[in-house]
């Protein structure tokens, strides 16, 4: 596509110098440039993409997008006010504006995004819609399931638009896209033409990046503010905002959303509510009540917080898109589990072992409250706190576990370039502040594999051992190195050792050498 054609629908001021060029691809990393690519010089943080323009040209970049006046370039130069904001719009144009041909559902929130995204996807499939999904675990395009990486967030704008274009080519009609605060703040999902926007909750997270809860909430709000700018589509676009009536974000989002509102939750004023909740072995039953309808839901994914996730998915599909009640019931029933979310690991032991992604104070609280309902025994929690991330969480999560678990084991969770012992000391201070006693109710065990082994060695019949914070993730970062790691593999390794049966080896982490 010619650059001149690419910018034909560009919605922001620009100037184009040095002629035109045929564009074969778009990229913002100079190391990924191939001949004919359009290179975006992004600025932000500690990097300035303009410094990498010479490297991009050496690799064959056909044109450059930037914000600074540049002289002497021998390729076309598109100067814009914000190159990061330009990237999604030019990516959408390059791939033929695929979102305009799809019904787009965006799901954001601090906790529960991935589960809610999967629930919506399963309901749409059960309704007979040819549907796709982009989550922080994978992208599902027809029969293809694509891994989206190790430590993952919303893909970059060119990848999002490429996935959407592949979905259009496969004949898909509906897409569910999990949207992170980073993805929203960095404009990665601009030009996605959302028809339905869903929030699970907005709690304490990513303040290291956003600076304050208000700024974090504002980033999430961009999804709901975008509904009004969605262009008319042949298949219609309902422009519905699906809000959690139980969450503190409700008042704020209800005021700034440009779409019509539907709320869900346990709150008596919620449009869609759950009533008559019953817990069975490995299943939750409840009635969905709202808009003059009442119908039963059976859910195999454990945890009371997943009732809210189910309500969000039902509201987005049944009440926003007109999906049938039968499809909602079948879709939720079809989702037996979500990788790394309240996932049971059973090798025949006489206690429950689980892995969950809970890595925020709110998620840890909900996870521990949920597993408490599964047992008359003790709850043994294993978790850490990431380095170079929100430091306030460290103390808060330890405080939460001391209050809600019987035994707490503090361990490594992506320390990155921070000193792990210092992270654990901050967590221990939180544990102490809530009456925790080191060596009696909580322990510091830096090696995560050893921490899981220790928890299992203490487990008695009927107890619950739950490892939180990593979930589905496939690596752990020490220094600047990502070491292959999976909590589920580690749990199986520790259980097989405990039971003296064949099983996987404990994955290696550098803390094993200390």
- The pLDDT of residue 150: 44
- The pLDDT of residue 210: 56
Q: Is the model's pLDDT at 458 over the cut of 50? A: yes
The domain defined by 343-513 carries CATH number 1.10.260.40? no
As a whole number of angstroms, the distance between CA 209 and CA 495 comes to 37
Reduce the DSSP state of residue 318 to 3 states and report it: helix
Find the helix or strand (DSSP H, E) in which 141 lies. strand 138-141
**Helix pair 448-458, 487-499: axis angle to 10 deg:** 40
Q: Which CATH architecture has domain 3-83?
A: 3-Layer(aba) Sandwich (3.40)
Q: Is the model's pLDDT at 504 over the cut of 80? A: yes
- The pLDDT of residue 54: 96
Instruction: Please say whether the beta carbons of 187 and 88 come within 8 A.
Output: yes
* Tokens 């989702």, residue located: 335
Q: Residue 484: count other Cβ atoms within 10 Å of its Cβ.
A: 12
Share of the chain above pLDDT 70, in %: 97
Residue 338: which pLDDT band, with cuts at 50, 70 and 90?
confident
Strands 293-299, 283-290: pairing is antiparallel
- The pLDDT of residue 268: 95
* Tokens 């690419």, residue located: 6
Q: Is the model's pLDDT at 469 over the cut of 80? A: yes
Q: Is the model's pLDDT at 367 over the cut of 80? A: yes
Closest CA to 263 of 184, 324, 197: 197
Least confident of 55-64, 165-174, 273-282: 273-282
- The pLDDT of residue 254: 95
Q: Is the model's pLDDT at 153 over the cut of 80? A: no
CA-CA distances (angstroms) from residue 371 to 210, 344, 376? 31, 11, 10
**Which tokens belong to 88?**
């999604």
The domain defined by 95-264+304-334 carries CATH number 3.40.1190.10? yes
Mean pLDDT of 206-227: 82
The string of pLDDT tens digits covering residues 116-152 is: 999 999 999 999 999 999 987 788 998 888 876 544 5
The string of pLDDT tens digits covering residues 14-57 is: 999 999 999 999 999 999 999 999 999 999 777 899 999 999 99
- The pLDDT of residue 71: 87
Give the start-to-end residue ranges of the domains of the chain.
Answer: 3-83, 95-264+304-334, 343-513
Least confident of 355-359, 423-427, 435-439: 355-359
As a whole number of angstroms, the distance between CA 170 and CA 426 comes to 50
**Which tokens belong to 90?**
């030019």
On the CB side of 171, CA atoms within 13 Å amount to 4
The model's pTM: 0.85
């Amino acid at each position: 596509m010619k650059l001149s054609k690419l910018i034909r629908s560009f919605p922001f001021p620009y100037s184009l110098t040095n002629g035109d060029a045929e564009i074969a691809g778009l990229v913002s990393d100079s190391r990924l440039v191939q001949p004919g690519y359009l290179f975006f010089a992004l600025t932000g943080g500690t990097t300035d993409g303009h410094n990498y323009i010479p490297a991009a040209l050496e690799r064959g970049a056909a044109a450059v997008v930037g914000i600074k006046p540049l002289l002497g370039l021998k390729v076309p130069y598109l100067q814009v006010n914000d190159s990061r904001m330009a990237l999604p719009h030019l990516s959408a144009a390059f791939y033929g504006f695929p979102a305009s041909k799809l019904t787009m559902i965006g799901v954001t929130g601090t906790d529960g995004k991935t589960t809610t995204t999967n629930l919506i996807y399963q309901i749409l499939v059960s309704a007979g819609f040819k549907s796709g999904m982009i989550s922080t675990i994978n992208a599902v395009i027809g029969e293809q399931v694509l891994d989206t990486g190790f430590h993952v967030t919303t893909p970059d704008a060119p990848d999002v638009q490429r996935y959407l274009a592949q979905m259009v080519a496969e004949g898909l009609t509906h897409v569910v896209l999990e949207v992170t605060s980073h993805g929203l703040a960095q404009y990665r999902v601009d030009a996605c033409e959302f028809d339905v926007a869903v929030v699970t909750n907005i709690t304490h997270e990513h303040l290291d990046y956003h600076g304050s809860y208000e700024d974090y909430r504002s980033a999430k709000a961009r999804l709901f503010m975008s509904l009004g700018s969605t262009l008319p589509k042949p298949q219609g676009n309902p422009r519905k905002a699906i809000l959690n009536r139980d969450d503190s974000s409700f008042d704020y989002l209800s005021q700034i959303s440009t779409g019509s509102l539907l709320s869900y939750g346990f709150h008596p004023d919620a449009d869609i509510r759950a009533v008559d909740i019953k817990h069975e072995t490995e299943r939750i039953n409840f009635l969905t009540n709202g808009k003059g309808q009442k119908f039963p839901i059976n859910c195999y994914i454990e945890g009371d917080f997943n009732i809210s996730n189910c309500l969000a998915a039902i509201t987005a599909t049944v009440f926003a898109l007109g999906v049938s009640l039968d499809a909602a019931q079948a879709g939720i029933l079809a989702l037996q589990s979500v990788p790394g979310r309240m996932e049971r690991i059973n090798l025949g032991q006489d206690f429950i072992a689980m892995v969950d992604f809970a890595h925020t104070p709110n998620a840890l609280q909900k996870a521990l409250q949920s597993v408490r309902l599964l047992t008359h025994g003790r709850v043994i929690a294993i978790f850490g706190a990431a380095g170079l991330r929100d430091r306030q969480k460290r103390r808060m999560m330890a405080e939460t576990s001391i209050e809600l678990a019987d035994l707490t084991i503090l361990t490594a969770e992506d320390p990155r370039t921070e000193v792990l012992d210092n992270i654990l000391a901050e967590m221990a201070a939180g544990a102490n502040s809530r009456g925790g006693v080191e060596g009696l109710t909580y322990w510091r065990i830096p090696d995560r594999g050893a921490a899981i082994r220790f928890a299992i060695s203490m487990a008695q019949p009927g107890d619950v051992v739950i490892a939180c914070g990593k979930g589905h993730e496939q690596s752990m970062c020490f220094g600047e190195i990502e070491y292959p790691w999976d909590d589920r593999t580690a749990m199986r390794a520790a259980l097989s050792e405990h039971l003296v049966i064949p099983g996987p080896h404990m994955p290696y982490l550098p803390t094993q050498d200390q």
